[in-house]
Amino acid sequence: MIDLTALDREGAAALLRFYRDIGVETLVAESPFDRFAQSQAEFSQPKPTPPPQVERARPAPVVAPKPPAAPRTPMPVKPAAALSHDAATASAREQAASAQTLDELRERLAAFDGCALKNSATQLVFADGAPEARVMLIGEGPGADEDRIGRPFVGRAGQLLDKMLAAIGLDRTKVYIANVVPWRPPGNRTPTPQELALCLPFVRRQIELVAPDFLVLLGACAAQTVLDEKEGIMRLRGHWRDYACGGKTIRALPMLHPAYLLRAPLKKAEAWRDLRALKKAMDHAGSF
């Protein structure tokens, strides 16, 4: 039997490694020990009563202060509804009829807010030339150059128009030039029927105040709007019409628009025939 008290640290460690290597897992005491009896005794003993649990007082929940109520924003006031198309057209007629001079007509047109084209245009393009002229030319509407400068027919189409007039002995000091729409449509698009109807009272009054002997309508838009026609410009051009205006009958001649002639130069021959017809009528009237 090994005297365990005689073992030093290294010897005890070597002995434990030996027991581990041979599979010893439990050390047995020198005298027997009844573990069954011990378990029975532990089982028969009453279990101690656990001390009563004292319920701890729970801390009051921390309530975050409510943020101050935001001031109530008043409901936005809706702007007054825009005039209906009929009301705007009636207003245009009233404003145009009240103008007694071209300067008054220009002022009323500049103050007229019924046509939305005014909101996107740079400025009003009212007219150019001589108000007392016997020939009045009306085009469709301003382009980019006209919108920037404020005068009708000053771009490429206007330069061609000047050459056309010069071919029959006219220039801007002898004619009066306007458009059916005095504000540039966005992107140079064709004016809508609603926009034309809103501007027509001003155009009609402009013709009345100028009171020309001859009216030249350049392009389909001008011819159809002023003459209340539905046919295309190829059918209308070159044919004289009578335009009743303030108790006076004015001879009106639809012609091809100079901008169209720039895109279709072969049509200049037809435009030249129309110019010769205008020149013949002017010479016959003896007003020039």
The stretch 78-100 carries a mean pLDDT of 82
Question: In CATH, what number is assigned to the domain containing residue 160?
Answer: 3.40.470.10
Strands 241-245 and 135-139 turn out to be unpaired
Q: CB-based contacts of 161: which residues, under 8 Å, 6+ apart?
A: 137, 153, 177, 218, 258
Q: Say whether pTM exceeds 0.85.
A: no
Q: Is 59 a member of any domain?
A: no
| pLDDT of 3 | 65
What is the secondary structure of the chain as a DSSP string?
Answer: ---GGG--HHHHHHHHHHHHHTT---PPPSS---HHHHHHHHHHSPPPPPPPPPPPPPPPPPPPPPPPPPPPPPPPPPPPPPPPHHHHHHHHHHHHHH--SHHHHHHHHHH--S-THHHHSSS----EE-TT-SEEEEES---HHHHHHSSSS-SHHHHHHHHHHHTTT--TTSEEEEES-SSPPGGGPPPPHHHHHHHHHHHHHHHHHH--SEEEEESHHHHHHHHT--S-HHHHTT--EEEEETTEEEEEEEE--HHHHHH-GGGHHHHHHHHHHHHHHHHHHT--
pLDDT digits (tens, 9 = 90+) for 227-242: 999 999 999 999 999 9
User: pLDDT band at 185, cuts 50/70/90?
Assistant: very high
**HSE-CB for 6 with a 13 A CA cutoff:** 3
Q: Is 271 a member of any domain?
A: yes
Tell whether the model's pLDDT for residue 58 goes beyond 70. Answer: no
User: pLDDT band at 79, cuts 50/70/90?
Assistant: very low
Q: Is 62 a member of any domain?
A: no
Percent above pLDDT 70 for the chain: 75
| pLDDT of 227 | 97
Strands 128-129 and 248-255 turn out to be unpaired
Q: Is 130 a member of any domain?
A: yes
| pLDDT of 36 | 60
The stretch 253-262 carries a mean pLDDT of 98
Range of the domain at 254: 123-285
Percent above pLDDT 90 for the chain: 68
Q: CB-based contacts of 156: which residues, under 8 Å, 6+ apart?
A: 259, 262
Q: Is 50 a member of any domain?
A: no
How many domains is the chain built from?
A: 1
Q: Is 60 a member of any domain?
A: no
Tell whether the model's pLDDT for residue 80 goes beyond 50. Answer: no
Phi (first) and psi of residue 139, to 5 degrees: -105, -165
Q: Is 151 a member of any domain?
A: yes
59 vs 210, higher pLDDT: 210
Tell whether the model's pLDDT for residue 177 goes beyond 60. Answer: yes
Q: Is 92 a member of any domain?
A: no
